[in-house]
Amino acid sequence: MPPQSSLAKMAGRRCNIHHMAHVAQRLFGTDGIRGKFGTFPITGEFFEKIGRALTVYLRKTTANGKIFIGTDTRTSANLLKNALFGGIGECFEVYDLGVLATPAIAFLTKQCGAICGISITASHNPYTDNGVKIFNGEGQKLPVAEEGHLEDLLFREVDNMPHPARASASIHGNPAEFLNIYRRHWEETFAPNCLKDLSIVFDAANGATATYGSTFLSQLGANVFALGHTPTGTNVNENFGTEHPQTLQRAVVEMGAHLGVALDGDGDRAVLCDRDGKIFASEHILALLAMNFHRQKRLKSNRLVTTIACNTAVDEVLKKHGIDVHRCDVGDRNVSEAMVHMESNLGGEPSGHIICLDFSPSADGLFTAVAFIQAIADGWDFRISSLRDYFPLNPCETLNLPVSTKIPIEKLSDLQSAIAAAENELAQLGTGRILVRYSGTENILRIFVEADTDERAKKLVLHIVNAVEKSYVRVT
């Protein structure tokens, strides 16, 4: 085992443990289907089958209708898109939106009366991966139960779904026309020149917003320095975007810009930094947006929705402002569903997915950036330290530990004991909490500890990591 002094080394190694196959095969994670292109389920053959399953699924409630499909910039996007086209039955009209961010696809699905929206993307993953996100007619990701219905169709022992490739759906639409609809919505949302005199570094991660993100910001009056805006099909998220914020930080300082904005490959996540290159925590973005909405009497039900992974300092500061915080399970779909249930219009999670239902049914990184800039526009010099209502986060430590397979946590006895011991230590202090969960899209175990000091949080994370490795070995 490597020395316990380095969390970074631990995050970089993999627990090479094999485990029996799960009885129930599950495709959908917390953010659609995702994987390496060319291997199951990210193949042309299986995407054609997804198209056929969608046809059967949708025809349970409607005989016809429009389906919107868009992609990010990966080389594999067109092959997968054409495979989906080939599987969807002729009773539906398929509209090709071209390269377009996931939140724009979700918005257009609802705005234009489609019954289903599809984004072919692997979000922040490297170009070698791809996947699919599916939205209902309201522009919201399908509920878990509905994804289960699709999986039942896809994994039936006998494939009796129709094969409509001989009479597949007709292809409609002009991508530029749909982008203009989204552009008009953007212009109607923000006041003209609301970013006047601001210099902004914008990093599109060579992804879906590369063709229009800089233009949108410029139309609001900003002077934009563009990064990651030359997609080749094989460079999405490579050294740019939310996964590599150091590129943004360095550029902001070197160019003397006021601030920086980075998105991920499909445009639903945002990372922002100040003029010194210091990154805003997503918790700060969420809380300051909520305060601004509250001051403007725009925060519906006077409530912010976030996840169990969000730092509890958010709850503490918003309570002082008379704002309630409702927590739900991790995943922007869970946030969206909770927002509807709680009648709130603002929600998000620490990953950078932030949803404002007044603008779109889906998290939109570009909207998040501009709304946040407006929320903090008064009385600051573009440095985090000068922000009104700025607050410290509680000490915490997060580590993402790669694993070869996702053994159910309840079966890992050493891990269970370690978590119980850590929780008991925090309980005696009267503060802190622990979250241990698997990623919904990758073979990663996420370990999060919030404690009274940074040192204690790191110590407890290391304790849990050691227990994970022992547990995996014992199960094997």
Instruction: Give the HSE-up count for residue 337: Cα atoms under 13 Å, Cβ half-sphere.
Output: 16
Say whether 276 sits in a helix, a strand or coil.
coil
| C-alpha distance from residue 286 to each of 31, 342, 354, 394, 461 (Å) | 20, 17, 7, 15, 26
Give the helix/strand (H/E) hosting 102: helix 102-111
Phi, psi of 300 (to 5 degrees): -65, 140
In which element (H, E) is residue 94 found?
strand 92-99
Nearest Cα to 75, choosing from 207, 173, 212, 177?
A: 207
Give phi and psi for 110, each to the nearest 5. Answer: -75, -45
DSSP conformation class of 304: E
Cβ neighbours around 388 below 10 Å, total: 10
In whole angstroms, give the CA distance from residue 94 to residue 344.
Answer: 33
- Listing DSSP states for 415-460 in one string gives HHHHHHHHHHHHHHHT--EEEEEE-SSSSEEEEEEE-SSHHHHHHH
Q: How far apart, in whole angstroms, are the C-alpha atoms of residue 459 and residue 463?
A: 6
For residue 9, give the nearest of 470, 340, 424, 469 by alpha carbon: 469
SS3 381: coil
Is the Cβ–Cβ distance between 88 and 247 less than 8 Å?
no
Sign of the alpha-carbon torsion through 242, 244, 246, 248: negative
| Alpha-carbon distances, residue 333 vs 302, 314, 357 (angstroms) | 21, 21, 13
**Residues 120, 81: contact at Cβ < 8 Å?**
yes
123 is catalytic: yes
Q: What per-residue string of b and e applies to 307-330 under the rule 16 or more CB within 10 Å gives b?
A: bebbbbbbbebbeeeebbbbbbbb
Instruction: Point out the catalytic residue in the list 76, 119, 123, 282.
Output: 123
Three-class SS string for 187-248?
A: HHHCCCCCCCCCEEEEECCCCCCCCCHHHHHHHCCCEEEEECCCCCCCCCCCCCCCCCHHHH
Structure tokens at 370: 């501009």
C-alpha count within 13 angstroms, C-beta hemisphere, residue 375: 22
Question: Would you please indicate which residues are annotated as catalytic (active-site) residues?
Answer: 123
